Every structure is written in structure tokens, then in C-alpha cells.
Amino acid sequence: MASECLPGLRILFIGDVVGGIGRRTLHALLPALRERHGITFTVVNGENSAGGVGITPKIAREFLAAGVDVITLGNHTYHQREIYPYLDEEPRILRPVNFLRSQPGHGFTVVERDGVRLGVLNISTNLYMDLALPMFAEADAALYAMREKTDHILVDVHGEATSEKIGLGWHLDGRVTAVVGTHTHVPTNDFRVLPGGTAYITDVGMTGPRGGVLGVVKELAIQSMQTRMPARFVTSEVDPWLNGVVIETGSEPHRAAAITPVLEPAPASVTGR
Ligand SMILES: [Fe+2]
Ligand SMILES: [Fe+2]
């Protein structure tokens, strides 16, 4: 596509889907969300979708069948062993690009619709996370490989420290369409288009039970924090919400025009209320 006349299109990015309740919430809300916002591409972080930790091939296939274009992951990528070969076989599921080359999977992909090519990059921060290769250098290397093959690029930066995510947003401003944070499961209110034209949010939040602690049954999480003893974490089913953002792309390549949060409670068909 000629680089000066890109049509504005909308990308829906959905934060960490947690357990069966998060999956049911996603599947219940996705068709109407895509229609309401005129969505061209849908990207979902699925790192907690299998019982709260990891993802299975069956769950990933269900997401893709529901119209999800790319699935991103994070520090829980390898919790379910059955996903390992699938990560190598399926181009539309990503693990952080800065994991070791020897670990299964890949960190970026390009999908195309209506003549527009969207690159998606998944990367992990370094502070307080599983060991990963240095984020800034690995992001630059990945973008070097992606840039000419794409009209737009969305980066899912998966990490704990707000400072590193904000730093990456500034580092990539004007070079990618969007930098969206995941992992903390708590949506931040700092969504904006940076001066160079990159849409940014520190954390999109999660698609899961707001009535728990980051997705875990609240009594179990509190007990563990109170007693400082390990507890078996079970996914809460209380008050599920979908958390995401819609990114409107600009007319120039690798630029955004707007970013808007999407925070929606699950419908009665999911909650039984
Ligand atoms: Fe995570
Ligand atoms: Fe997560």
C-alpha cells in the first residue's frame, strides 16, 4: 500500500484474559465490540487464559476462530507444556521476543487485511520479571526486522515496572503505531497519543474477575499475604469485566490518531445475574 494514503482503521487490543470466566467474557462481548467500534484487527493477551496461568492450543484456536488476529503472551507462556509445539507451529501466537532463542515460539508476526499490514510485537520488561534479554536493544532489533514489512506496528510490552513501560513508550514514539502495557491486570488512566504519533497506555488491565485480587479468589490471596504462607490460587468468578483499548491509526504509516479505553462488564449470560 502506498505509504501516504493509508486508511484510518481501528485495532482492538484486549488485556490478559484470566481463566474460563475471562474467556467467556471475551467471547460474549467480542462480536458486539468489533461491530460497534468498526474493528479491523483484534489482538488479545492470553497468558492467563488456561485456569489463570498459561494457554493451551485448544484455547488459542478458540480465540482465533472467534476473530482474534494475534494472541500475545508473557511470563506465564510456558506454564502449560502442551502449548510448546503450537508456539512454533502457529505464526499468530507470540511469546516475548526477548526470551531466549532456544525457548519455544517467536516474538513478532505480521497479519494483513484489506491491504494493510499490521505487525505485532510482544516484549517483556526486565525489572521484577523472569529473566529476559535487555528490552530496549531487543525492541530495536525486532523493529528493524519488522518495519519494512508493515504499515502499522502494535507492541505489547509485558511487565511489572511502570517506569520501564513508559520508557519504552518514549523510546518507540514515532516509530510504531502503539505501545500497550500488560501484566499488572490493573488498567491505568494514562492513555494518550505521544507527540511523535505513538498511542500509549502503561497497562490495559485484564479481562477477568474484578471481584478477586488480580484474578485470584480474594480470600485465598489475602490469606497468603496475611500469613506469608503459600496458598493454592483459584481464579475468582466474581464481577468479570473486559479491559481493552481501541487504537485508531493515522493516515501515515506507524502512527496513531487516537487511543480509547474499553472497560465493559460481562453480560448477564456470563454472570448468571
Ligand atoms: Fe504476566
Ligand atoms: Fe497476566
Determine, yes or no, domain membership for 3.
no
Ligand 1: centre distance to CA 35 (Å): 29
Determine, yes or no, domain membership for 151.
yes
- Is 76 among the residues known to form the active site? yes
Mapped onto helix, strand or coil, the DSSP state of residue 34 is helix
Tens digit of each residue's pLDDT, the chain (273 residues) = 545 678 889 999 999 999 999 999 999 999 999 999 999 999 999 999 999 999 999 999 999 999 999 999 999 999 999 999 999 999 999 999 999 999 999 999 999 998 999 999 999 999 999 899 999 999 999 999 999 999 999 999 999 999 999 999 999 999 999 999 999 999 999 999 999 999 999 999 999 999 999 999 999 999 999 999 988 889 999 999 999 999 999 999 999 999 999 999 999 999 887
Residues spanned by the domain of 164: 10-266
Question: How many distinct structural domains can be found in the chain?
Answer: 1
- How far apart (Å, rounded) are the C-alpha atoms in residues 164 and 149? 27
- Catalytic choice (27, 37, 76, 183): 76
Q: How many Å separate Cα 130 from the centre of its chain? A: 17
Determine, yes or no, domain membership for 2.
no
Mapped onto helix, strand or coil, the DSSP state of residue 88 is helix
Ligand 1: centre distance to CA 109 (Å): 20
Determine the angle formed by the axes of helices 162-172 and 135-146, rounding to 10 degrees: 30
Instruction: Output the DSSP codes for 98-166.
Output: TS-TTSSS-SEEEEEETTEEEEEEEEE-STTSS--S-HHHHHHHHHHHHGGG-SEEEEEEE-S-HHHHH
Other residues' Cβ atoms within 10 Å of the Cβ of residue 174 = 12
Q: How many Å separate Cα 9 from the centre of its chain? A: 18
Ligand 1: centre distance to CA 184 (Å): 7
Determine, yes or no, domain membership for 28.
yes
Which pTM value belongs to this model?
0.96
Determine, yes or no, domain membership for 56.
yes
Determine, yes or no, domain membership for 259.
yes
Length of the chain: 273
The three three-digit cell numbers of residue 220, written as one number = 485465598
Determine, yes or no, domain membership for 139.
yes
Ligand 2: centre distance to CA 4 (Å): 37
CATH number, domain of 197, equals: 3.60.21.10
The three three-digit cell numbers of residue 129, written as one number = 520479571
Q: Which of 234, 262, 235, 236 is nearest to 248 (CA)?
A: 262
Determine, yes or no, domain membership for 5.
no
